[in-house]
């Protein structure tokens, strides 16, 4: 039915007496929501009825997990709160992976779930699941609304909690009788969060202590995480690095917070990070962590992590301080406020010896691969993508080797440019994330660099991209294998490739069947023109690159080893 022929909402929409469903929609609009994702079902019908003519762009995924990843990526790409709506029971349960993904990567999201009637809760009613129980560990906060008078307050609180402090997903469960109950909304409502405190400004003395440590350091490293991007503090970070003259390494989620084309960039650190970043961290005398949480993929063996370094940790989340690594100078607060204060007190230092050492490591161990190979190397596909998009595309990824190669070989220069599941490592994130990012940033080129098996998990969402006319590009680095698992089996299980191979469909045919463009690329010489065609397509486009099947990601810090105990350096050195 066209919007013009829709039956009107009627005079009830004008009155201050409103249903819970109408209050929810009004609160969403008040919170600035103009786009949301959701899937219908019995107990959310009153809410969907109110959304019928609401001024909200509504995207329907093919599976609630996909919708949750879309809302997550929409938030990461836009800086706004992502909103996802699902029905009770199976719909709500399908959100769990998406919520856990958002939780681990601190994405601001509000998930709304319908629930069975209040009087039926606990009765094993049809499509009943204990949604707040199931999602408690994977949300920053969740609650069930039991009374219509609380709807507006709880929804405002949800947006506030999701988007302040260490951001994260909040879930509100709404029984269907609360959606239809009426309430007079003429009195204003206030949030009631007496126990929720957010520290924004850092402690002045701690900031001065940090500045002194930076000024005194001969071999510092700035170690930056996704928190700098969430805080919209990339510009302040650049100014700090510039003024104090600091080399900068980032985590996977921190990529884009600092322009990788700048000479001070050490690129990504950690398990598959740059050798020069890992060596610099191991040899530094001062590690300045900003919005990063010392994840095990970053630190390697904790006991020997940055053994000579004094550690400064700037973070909004007090619970992250000294959680994994002992911190000498903690500064709790928002990087957006703290970095300008720090900049005032730091001084320029030449650090000639230190930068010389770093330049030597960079020269000796760059990210590299066999450029002369006759097969399609995945790294070549990504380098060519980066070249043709001039490093300007928004990149989403699957999980596995594809994700690590994307991080190593695309050059990120601005925040919110890489959208990847870091903490949870969720295969199937890439395609729905590309959709969410493209919805958030309509004019930009959005490319999902995916693994074949990651793509298999949520490829049904290609239909969502087609339906919404989103010109996303999907580059499948198709090695047939669950490549990262195969790599571990090669290195640690004597090449016993147990259950890490599955046959795949012909992706170009799948894409065409869904109304997208499909391209198969099986010759190295065809890579540039296939990418050119893909970038020119107005419709969603899937390019299936049949890559070298047993390529490995180097370097690699084997689990439990120190950051400087990298494998594969001999390979990098020999082809550098």
In angstroms, the CA 2 to CA 522 distance is 44
Q: Report the DSSP beta bridge partners of residue 556.
A: 567
Provide the b/e sequence for 143-174 (b: ≥16 CB within 10 Å).
Answer: bbbbebbbbbbbbbbbbbbbbbbbbbbbbbbb
Q: Least Å distance between CB 545 and Mg ion?
A: 11
Long-range contacts of 491-495 (CB under 8 A, 24+ apart): 491/552, 491/556, 491/558, 491/567, 492/558
Output 272 or 310, the one with its CB closest to ligand TPP. Answer: 272
| Structure-block tokens of residue 262 | 């700048």
CA–CA separation, 387 and 410 (whole Å)? 9
Q: How far apart are CB 529 and ligand TPP at their closest, in Å? A: 23
| 313: DSSP letter | E
Q: Which is nearer to Mg ion, 438 or 487 (CB)?
A: 487
Q: Residue 291's closest CA among 162, 415, 440, 141? A: 415
Q: Kindly tell me which of 107 and 479 has the beta carbon lying closer to Mg ion.
A: 479
Site map for Mg ion, 478-497, x if CB under 5 A? -x---x--------------
* Nearest-approach distance from CB 324 to ligand TPP, in angstroms: 21
Using CB under 5 A as the binding rule, whether residue 333 contacts Mg ion is answered as no
Q: Cβ closer to ligand TPP: 299 or 479?
A: 479
Residue 69 or 411: which CB sits closer to ligand TPP?
Answer: 69
Tell the smallest beta-carbon distance from residue 479 to Mg ion (Å): 4
79 contacts which partner out of ligand TPP, Mg ion, none, CB within 5 to 8 A by kind?
Answer: none
Tell me how far the alpha carbon of residue 196 is from its chain's centroid: 25
Spatial neighbors of 494 by CB under 8 A, at least 6 apart, are none
- x/- string (CB under 5 A) for Mg ion, residues 227-256? ------------------------------
Non-local CB neighbours of 273 within 8 Å, separated by 6+ positions: 249, 267, 298, 555, 557
Q: Which does 454 bind (CB under 5 to 8 A by kind): Mg ion, ligand TPP, none?
A: ligand TPP
**Cβ neighbourhood burial of 304 (10 Å; 0-12, 13-18, 19+):** middle
Q: How many CB atoms lie within 10 A of CB 372?
A: 7
Stretch near Mg ion under the rule CB under 5 A, chosen from 121-129, 254-262, 328-336, 477-485: 477-485
Where does this chain bind ligand TPP (CB under 6 A)? 398-402, 425-428, 451-454, 477, 479, 481-485
- Residue 425 contact, options ligand TPP, Mg ion, none, Cβ 5-8 Å cut-off depending on partner type: ligand TPP
Residue 484 interaction partner, one of Mg ion, ligand TPP, none, beta carbon < 5-8 Å per kind:
ligand TPP
Q: Is 452 in the site for Mg ion (CB under 5 A)?
A: yes
- Kindly state the smallest distance separating residue 560's Cβ from Mg ion, in Å: 25
Query: Which residues lie near Mg ion (CB under 5 A)?
Result: 451-452, 479, 483
């Amino acid at each position: 039915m066209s919007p013009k022929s829709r039956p009107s909402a009627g005079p009830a929409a004008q009155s201050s007496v409103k249903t819970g469903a109408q209050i929810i929609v009004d609160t969403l609009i008040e919170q600035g929501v103009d786009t949301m994702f959701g899937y219908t079902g019995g107990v959310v019908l009153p809410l969907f009825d109110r959304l019928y003519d609401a001024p909200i762009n509504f995207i329907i995924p093919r599976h609630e997990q996909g919708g949750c990843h879309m809302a997550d990526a929409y938030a990461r790409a836009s800086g706004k709160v992502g909103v996802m709506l699902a029905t009770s029971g199976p719909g709500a349960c399908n959100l769990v992976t998406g919520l856990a993904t958002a939780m681990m990567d601190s994405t601001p999201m509000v998930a709304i779930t319908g629930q069975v009637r209040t009087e039926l809760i606990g009765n094993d009613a049809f499509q009943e699941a204990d949604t707040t129980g199931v999602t408690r560990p994977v949300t920053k906060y969740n609650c069930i609304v039991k009374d219509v008078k609380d709807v507006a307050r709880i929804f405002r609180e949800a947006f506030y909690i999701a988007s302040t402090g260490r951001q994260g997903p909040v879930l509100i469960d709404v029984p269907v009788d609360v959606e239809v109950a009426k309430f007079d909304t003429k009195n204003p409502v206030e949030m009631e969060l007496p126990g929720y405190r957010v520290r924004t400004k850092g402690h002045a003395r701690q900031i001065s202590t940090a500045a002194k440590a930076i000024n005194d350091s001969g071999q510092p490293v700035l170690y930056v995480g996704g928190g700098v991007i969430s805080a919209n503090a990339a510009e302040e970070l650049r100014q700090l690095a510039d003024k104090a003259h600091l080399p900068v390494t980032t985590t996977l989620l921190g990529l884009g917070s600092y322009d990788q084309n700048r000479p001070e960039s050490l690129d990504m650190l950690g398990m598959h990070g740059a050798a020069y970043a890992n060596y610099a961290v191991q040899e530094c005398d001062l590690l300045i962590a900003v919005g990063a949480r010392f994840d095990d993929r970053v630190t390697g063996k904790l006991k020997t992590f940055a053994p000579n370094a004094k550690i400064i940790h700037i973070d909004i989340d007090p619970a992250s301080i000294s959680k994994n690594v002992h911190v000498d100078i903690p500064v709790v607060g928002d990087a957006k406020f703290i970095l300008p204060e720090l900049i005032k007190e730091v001084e320029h230092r030449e650090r000639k010896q230190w930068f010389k050492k770093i330049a030597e490591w960079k020269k000796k161990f760059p990210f590299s691969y066999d450029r002369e190979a006759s097969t399609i190397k995945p790294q070549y596909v990504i380098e060519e993508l980066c070249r043709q998009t001039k490093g300007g595309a928004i990149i989403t990824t699957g999980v596995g080797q594809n994700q690590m190669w994307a991080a190593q070989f695309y050059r990120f220069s601005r925040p919110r440019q890489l959208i990847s599941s870091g903490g949870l490592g969720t295969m199937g994130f890439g395609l729905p994330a590309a959709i969410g990012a493209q919805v958030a940033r309509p004019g930009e080129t959005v490319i999902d660099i995916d693994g074949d098996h990651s793509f298999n998990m949520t490829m049904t969402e290609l239909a969502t991209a087609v339906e919404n006319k989103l010109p996303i590009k999907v580059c499948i680095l198709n090695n047939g294998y669950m490549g990262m698992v195969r790599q571990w089996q090669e290195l640690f299980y004597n090449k016993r490739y147990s259950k890490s191979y599955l046959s795949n469909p012909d992706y170009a045919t799948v894409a065409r069947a869904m109304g997208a463009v499909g391209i198969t690329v099986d010759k190295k010489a065809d890579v540039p023109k296939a990418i050119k065609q893909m970038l020119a397509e107005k419709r969603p486009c899937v390019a299936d690159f049949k890559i070298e099947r047993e390529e490995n990601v180097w370097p690699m810090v084997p689990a439990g080893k120190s950051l400087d105990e990298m494998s594969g350096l001999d390979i990098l050195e020999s082809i550098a």
